[in-house]
A and B are shown apart, each in its own frame.
Chain A
Amino acid sequence: MPTGFFSLILHAHLPFVRHPEYPEFLEEDWLFEAITEVYLPLIFILQSLNESGVKPRLAMNVSPPLCEMLSDELLQTRYTRHLENLLELADKEVDRTQNEAMEFHDVAKMYAVGLRASLGLWNDRYNRDLVAAFRDLQDKGAIEIITCGATHGFLPLIATQEARRAQVNVAVANYKKHFGRQPRGIWLPECAYEPGVEALLKDAGIEYFISDTHAILYGDPRPRYGVHAPVFCPNGVAVFARDVETSQQVWSAEIGYPGNDVYREFYRDVGWDLPIEYLKPHLHEDGNRRHLGLKYHRITGRNVPQQNKAPYIPALAREKAAENASHFIGERIKQAHTLRATFEGHPPLVVSPYDAELFGHWWYEGPQFIDFFFRKLHYDQSDIAAITPGDFLDSGIPIQRQQPTASSWGENGYYKVWINELNSWMYPYQHDAERKMTDLANRFSAEASKRDLLETEVRLLKQLARELLLAESSDWAFQIYQGTTVEYSSRRFQSHIHRFDLLVKMVESGEVDHELLAEIERRDNIFAEIDFSVYSKL
C-alpha cells in the first residue's frame, strides 16, 4: 500500500449561455475560450496519458449546463467559426511578428501551431463532440466523471425541498443521457452543503459528494482523521472534503504556482495591444476590443506594470511547469508521511479540488502541469497513489460516520458570496417561482392520472421547469457579488423569472401565445429530456 492517496478533482462548469437570437454574443466566448484553452488540451492530455499506460484516475465534474452546451449544434457551429477566425489571426500574426516584432515570433508560431492542432482535434478526432470524448475517457477507466446541480443551483439557498430535489434529479437524468450510466458522485454547487442535502442525494442513488474542509472538521463527532479521510453521513452518503495545503499551493493568488514570473500573463492580450483596423475581421460586429486569447507576455514580476511585461518564452514556462509538478509531488510525499505518522499508520487521502478552468484559461501552463504531474507520479515514485473518490470507497478502508456541518468553499466558508446586500433581491422571486412550479406540477400530475395532457400543456410545464432551473444558477448571484458582468447576470436572472411569469400566465389563463412559447423554447433549450413532475410534492 502507498504511504498516502491523492485525489485530484476538477470542476468543469460554465453557466448556460446560448443566444440564438443574435448572430454572435460576447458571453458565448466564455465557452469558446474554455474549449480551446481547457477542455481540448485536458482531453488530449488525459487520452495521451491513458494510451501510454498512465491512468490519471482523477475525478472530473462536467456540469449539466456544460454538457448541454458542448452537445449543442448551434454552439458547436459557432465555436468552429470562432476557432477558425482565431487561427486566421494567429497565421497573420506569424507573418507580422516575423517582420515587425521578432521578440514575439516564437509565441506567435506557438499559437498558430497549437490552434491548427486544436482545429484538427475538434473536427477530426472528436468530431466536435467533447462530451463523447469525456465519456470515452471514463469508459476506458482513465477518469471518473461526477455530476453537479442541474444548473449549479446553490442548494441551501433554494427554499423548497422539491426545487432542491429537481436540481439533483434533473442532473442525474442529464448525466445518464450524456454518459450512459448512473453517476457515483456529485460536486455540490459551490461545495455548498447543509444537513439534509444528503437525503436527496441518497434518493437519487448518489454515493458521495465533495465538500469544503470545515464540513468535516467541524462535523459531529470529531473526525478521527480530520479532512484527510472521507466520512459517511448518518444515511451512508460519503463526503470528501478539500485539503487546504494543496489549494493554496496551486491556486492562492498570493503564493500559488500560476503566479510565477515565467508563466504567461493573462491580462495582456493582442485584442488590446494591436491596431483596431488590423484586428477588425477578428472582432465581433460591434468592433469592440476584447480578449482574443493571443497573449505574448510573461508575468515578469508581481509588481511589474502591464506595459513593462517581458516577452513570453514557451520553453521556459514548460520547464517551470515540470519543476512545479515535481515540487508538488515532493510536497505530497512529505505531507503523506506527516499525515500517516499523525494518524498512527492509517493511510491518508488528500482531496484536491479545483475549477477545471484554472488549468489552461487562467493558468495557461496548467494542462502541462497536470501532464507532468501524472507522468512523474506514475514513473518517479511509489509513495503516493492517484485515486478517485469512487476508488477509495471501493478500497474497503473503514470510514467514520459523522454529521457534517453547513459550509461552502466560498469566501469565509459559508453563503455570503451568494446572499448579501447586492444580490439578496433575487431570492423572493426565485422562491416564489419554486412554490408556483410545485403547485403546477402537483396540479398537472393529478390531471395526468385522469387524462392525457395536451402537448402544449406539457411543453409549457417543461419550459417552466427549465426557466426556474436557469434562474437558480448560482453563477448570476456570484457574478453580481464579484462585480463581473453584473449587468448581464442581473439580466439573465430577470429574463428567466420574466419568462417563467409569462408561461405561468399562459397556463393559468389557458391562452397560449404559441409564437412566444416557441421562441422561449428555442432560446432556453437546455434539458430536452426534462420531466416536469420532478417538481411534484415530495
Chain B
Amino acid sequence: MSKDSKEKKSLALKADYIEFVPADELSSSSELITSAVEPVEAVAVRTLAPATKLEDMPPAFRELAEPKLPELAHENRARLQMQSPNRLFFYWSVGANPFHKLNLALGAKTASYSLVLKLVDVRHDLEEIYPIDAEGSWWFDVEADGEYRAEIGFYAPNRPYVRALFSNTVATPRKSPSPRVDTEADWSISADRFARVLEVAGFTEDAFDVALAGDDIDAAEMATHAAFTQLVDEPDFDFEGIAADEIRNVLLLLASGVSLESLRGKISPLLFAILQKRAESLSAEKAFAVLKDQFDIEADEIVEEEFGPGVFGVSSINFPRRLKTRRTLPKLQPVSSLRSSSPVAGGRFSNR
C-alpha cells in the first residue's frame, strides 16, 4: 500500500463512521508492480468504521446492524426431515387455539383430550404418541428403509383420535446394499462377485454381510433369525419390522468387538432396545459363536477398522467402517440352506 493510500485510509477512519470512501482509497498501489498494468477502475463504497455506534448510524444501516429472526406466524406448520436412516427431525406449530376446532366438532366431550404428536410408521402401521405443546420440535429414532409421517392431533383414552395436521412423508434409505439383482444379464451379478465388488470399493463390512447372506435371501434370513435367537437366548421372537441384513450387520459388529453403546442411534432403535435389555449376557465371543454356528465362517476372529472422518481442512468426510477377519475370509455362502427346516420362532418383541 502506498504512503498516500495509508494516509487517506487513516483520515477516513478518523472521520465520522459513515462516509463514501474516496475511490482512490480502495485502488491498489502500483509501486510493487514491476510491469505495466492496465488500470482497473476502483469502486466507490460506502463504509462503516469498525467502531460505529448504533445510534449514530443512518436508519438503513441501523436496521441492518442488528439482525434478528422474525417471529414465525402462529399457523399450522408440520415438517419432517431426515437426518439419517435412523433419525428424523420434526418441527410443528398449530395455528389459533387448537382446542377450538375440537370443541366445535365434539362439543363438551373434549375435556379428557390432550394435544399429542404422533409418529406413524406407514409401512408397518405402527404409531408412537407423545404429549406436546402447540409448537416445538422433536427428534425420532426410526428404522432404516422405512416410511414415516408425523401428525399433530388430539388424544384421549378410549376416545377417537382426532388429527389436526400432518407432515410430509419421509422415506428413510436402506443403509446396506440392495438385495435385488439386475434382471438384465449384462448387469446381473452373483452374491459372491458382488461381495468382491464391495470389498474392492472399501466397503468390507457390507462385503462380509453380502458374502454371508449369499444368493438365497430367504435362507439367509432364516439363518440370521436363528443366530439372533441363539444370541438373545429367546426362541419366541417376531422379527417383523427388523431387516435381516440389519440384524446380521449388528451381529458382525458385536462379534468384531464393537460395544453395544457405540451403536446407539446408528442401528434400528427397536433392535438396539432389545439388545440393551440383554446387554449383560452379550459378548463378542457369543456373537461370533452364533454367527459361526449359523454361517460357514472359517475365520478365528473378526476385527473392525474404522477411519475417523477427519480430513485435512475444516471438513469431515464419510469413510466406511471396515471388517477384517484374522485368519481367512468366510467361505462366502451361508450354511442356512442346510438348515432351511430350522424353526424360526414366532411371537412379538416385548417392547412393541
Complex contacts, A77 vs chain B, CB 8 Å: 26-28, 40, 42-43
Interface residues of A in 393-422 (CB under 8 A from B): 398, 400, 402, 405-417, 419-421
Interface residues of B in 304-319 (CB under 8 A from A): 307-319
Contact assessment for B64 and A85 in the assembled complex, using a CB-CB cutoff below 8 Å: no
Complex contacts, B64 vs chain A, CB 8 Å: 21, 495, 498-499, 516, 519-520, 523
Asked whether any CB of chain B lies closer than 8 Å to the CB of A101, the reply is no
Asked whether any CB of chain B lies closer than 8 Å to the CB of A442, the reply is no
Interface string of A172-216 (1 = CB under 8 A from B): 000000000000000000000011000000000000000011100
Interface residues of A in 321-373 (CB under 8 A from B): 338-339, 342-343, 355, 357-358, 361-363
Complex contacts, B47 vs chain A, CB 8 Å: 20-23
Q: How large is the interface on B (under 10, 10 to 19, 20 to 34, 35 or more residues)?
A: 35 or more
Contact assessment for A220 and B178 in the assembled complex, using a CB-CB cutoff below 8 Å: yes
Contact assessment for A212 and B318 in the assembled complex, using a CB-CB cutoff below 8 Å: yes
For B58, B89, B93, B186, the residue with the greatest tally of chain A CB atoms inside 10 Å of its CB is B89
How long is the Cα–Cα vector from A515 to B61 in the complex, in angstroms?
9
Decide: A222 near B194, CB < 8 A? Known: A22-B47, A217-B203, A398-B186. Answer: yes
Least Cβ–Cβ distance between B291 and chain A, in angstroms: 22
Contact assessment for B200 and A414 in the assembled complex, using a CB-CB cutoff below 8 Å: no
Complex contacts, B93 vs chain A, CB 8 Å: 428
Complex contacts, A76 vs chain B, CB 8 Å: 40
How long is the Cα–Cα vector from A23 to B18 in the complex, in angstroms?
10
Contact assessment for A400 and B26 in the assembled complex, using a CB-CB cutoff below 8 Å: no
Contact assessment for B318 and A342 in the assembled complex, using a CB-CB cutoff below 8 Å: no
Complex contacts, A272 vs chain B, CB 8 Å: none
Which chain B residue lies CB-closest to A21?
Answer: B48
Decide: A213 near B21, CB < 8 A? Known: A77-B28, A157-B81, A226-B197. Answer: no
Asked whether any CB of chain B lies closer than 8 Å to the CB of A301, the reply is no
Contact assessment for B202 and A245 in the assembled complex, using a CB-CB cutoff below 8 Å: yes
Decide: A252 near B1, CB < 8 A? Known: A285-B50, A427-B79. Answer: no
Asked whether any CB of chain B lies closer than 8 Å to the CB of A138, the reply is no
Asked whether any CB of chain A lies closer than 8 Å to the CB of B84, the reply is yes
Complex contacts, A226 vs chain B, CB 8 Å: 197-198, 200-201
Interface residues of B in 246-282 (CB under 8 A from A): 266
Stretch at the interface among A41-49, A123-131, A142-150, A452-460: A123-131
Contact assessment for A412 and B84 in the assembled complex, using a CB-CB cutoff below 8 Å: yes
Asked whether any CB of chain A lies closer than 8 Å to the CB of B220, the reply is no
Complex contacts, B85 vs chain A, CB 8 Å: 414
Contact assessment for B61 and A252 in the assembled complex, using a CB-CB cutoff below 8 Å: no
Complex contacts, B37 vs chain A, CB 8 Å: 123-124
How long is the Cα–Cα vector from A85 to B26 in the complex, in angstroms?
13
Asked whether any CB of chain A lies closer than 8 Å to the CB of B82, the reply is yes
Which chain A residue lies CB-closest to B2?
Answer: A84
Contact assessment for A84 and B32 in the assembled complex, using a CB-CB cutoff below 8 Å: yes
How long is the Cα–Cα vector from A452 to B33 in the complex, in angstroms?
50
Contact assessment for B308 and A419 in the assembled complex, using a CB-CB cutoff below 8 Å: no
Mostly, the B contact residues are loop
Contact assessment for A498 and B67 in the assembled complex, using a CB-CB cutoff below 8 Å: yes
Interface residues of B in 75-130 (CB under 8 A from A): 77, 79, 81-85, 87, 89, 91, 93
Question: Could you say which of A87, A358, A400, A523 contacts B312, with CB atoms under 8 Å apart?
Answer: A358
Which chain B residue lies CB-closest to A87?
Answer: B32
Contact assessment for A225 and B67 in the assembled complex, using a CB-CB cutoff below 8 Å: no
Least Cβ–Cβ distance between A62 and chain B, in angstroms: 18
Complex contacts, A486 vs chain B, CB 8 Å: none
Question: Could you say which of B1, B69, B89 contacts A84, with CB atoms under 8 Å apart?
Answer: B1
Contact assessment for B89 and A419 in the assembled complex, using a CB-CB cutoff below 8 Å: yes
Decide: A124 near B35, CB < 8 A? Known: A415-B82, A419-B83, A502-B63. Answer: yes
Asked whether any CB of chain A lies closer than 8 Å to the CB of B34, the reply is yes
Asked whether any CB of chain B lies closer than 8 Å to the CB of A258, the reply is yes
Decide: A120 near B67, CB < 8 A? Known: A85-B1, A515-B58, A516-B59. Answer: no
Interface string of A479-499 (1 = CB under 8 A from B): 100101000000100110111
How long is the Cα–Cα vector from A428 to B176 in the complex, in angstroms?
31
Contact assessment for A120 and B33 in the assembled complex, using a CB-CB cutoff below 8 Å: yes
Least Cβ–Cβ distance between B321 and chain A, in angstroms: 10
How long is the Cα–Cα vector from A156 to B83 in the complex, in angstroms?
10
Which chain A residue lies CB-closest to B318?
Answer: A413
Asked whether any CB of chain A lies closer than 8 Å to the CB of B41, the reply is yes
Asked whether any CB of chain B lies closer than 8 Å to the CB of A307, the reply is no
Contact assessment for A244 and B187 in the assembled complex, using a CB-CB cutoff below 8 Å: no
Least Cβ–Cβ distance between B146 and chain A, in angstroms: 12
For B37, B137, B176, B196, the residue with the greatest tally of chain A CB atoms inside 10 Å of its CB is B37
Asked whether any CB of chain A lies closer than 8 Å to the CB of B70, the reply is yes
Asked whether any CB of chain B lies closer than 8 Å to the CB of A268, the reply is no
How long is the Cα–Cα vector from A213 to B177 in the complex, in angstroms?
12
Question: Could you say which of B34, B41, B137 contacts A73, with CB atoms under 8 Å apart?
Answer: B41
Decide: A254 near B307, CB < 8 A? Known: A222-B194, A522-B46. Answer: yes
Least Cβ–Cβ distance between A393 and chain B, in angstroms: 18
Complex contacts, A124 vs chain B, CB 8 Å: 35, 37
Asked whether any CB of chain B lies closer than 8 Å to the CB of A293, the reply is no
Complex contacts, B315 vs chain A, CB 8 Å: 355
Asked whether any CB of chain A lies closer than 8 Å to the CB of B156, the reply is no
Asked whether any CB of chain B lies closer than 8 Å to the CB of A100, the reply is no
Contact assessment for B60 and A516 in the assembled complex, using a CB-CB cutoff below 8 Å: yes
Contact assessment for B176 and A224 in the assembled complex, using a CB-CB cutoff below 8 Å: no
Decide: A251 near B317, CB < 8 A? Known: A74-B45, A220-B178, A222-B194. Answer: yes
For A217, A255, A421, A491, the residue with the greatest tally of chain B CB atoms inside 10 Å of its CB is A217
Asked whether any CB of chain A lies closer than 8 Å to the CB of B72, the reply is yes
Asked whether any CB of chain A lies closer than 8 Å to the CB of B12, the reply is yes
Contact assessment for B200 and A213 in the assembled complex, using a CB-CB cutoff below 8 Å: no
Asked whether any CB of chain A lies closer than 8 Å to the CB of B206, the reply is yes
Asked whether any CB of chain A lies closer than 8 Å to the CB of B348, the reply is no
For B58, B70, B79, B189, the residue with the greatest tally of chain A CB atoms inside 10 Å of its CB is B70
Interface residues of A in 237-284 (CB under 8 A from B): 243-245, 247-248, 251-256, 258-259, 281
Question: Could you say which of B69, B174, B202 contacts A498, with CB atoms under 8 Å apart?
Answer: B69
Decide: A23 near B187, CB < 8 A? Known: A74-B43, A218-B177, A248-B307. Answer: no
Contact assessment for A20 and B72 in the assembled complex, using a CB-CB cutoff below 8 Å: no
How long is the Cα–Cα vector from A215 to B77 in the complex, in angstroms?
31
Decide: A228 near B201, CB < 8 A? Known: A80-B28, A221-B178. Answer: yes
Asked whether any CB of chain B lies closer than 8 Å to the CB of A51, the reply is no
Complex contacts, B202 vs chain A, CB 8 Å: 213, 244-245, 248
Asked whether any CB of chain B lies closer than 8 Å to the CB of A290, the reply is no
Asked whether any CB of chain A lies closer than 8 Å to the CB of B345, the reply is no
Contact assessment for A358 and B26 in the assembled complex, using a CB-CB cutoff below 8 Å: no
Asked whether any CB of chain B lies closer than 8 Å to the CB of A318, the reply is no
Which chain B residue lies CB-closest to A436?
Answer: B73
Least Cβ–Cβ distance between B263 and chain A, in angstroms: 13
Contact assessment for B50 and A22 in the assembled complex, using a CB-CB cutoff below 8 Å: yes
Decide: A407 near B312, CB < 8 A? Known: A22-B47, A23-B21, A213-B201. Answer: no
Asked whether any CB of chain A lies closer than 8 Å to the CB of B329, the reply is no
Contact assessment for B173 and A407 in the assembled complex, using a CB-CB cutoff below 8 Å: yes
Complex contacts, A212 vs chain B, CB 8 Å: 318
A-B CB proximity, top 5 nearest? A244-B202, A253-B310, A80-B28, A226-B197, A413-B318
Apart from A84-B29, A221-B178, A286-B50: 19 A-B pairs, beta carbons within 8 A: A23-B21, A78-B26, A116-B34, A119-B32, A120-B33, A214-B320, A222-B177, A244-B320, A253-B311, A255-B307, A400-B182, A402-B182, A405-B174, A414-B83, A416-B84, A421-B139, A427-B89, A428-B77, A479-B314
Instruction: List 9 A–B pairs whose Cβ atoms lie within 8 Å, in order of A's numbering.
Output: A116-B34, A195-B171, A222-B194, A228-B200, A281-B1, A363-B312, A414-B82, A416-B83, A495-B64
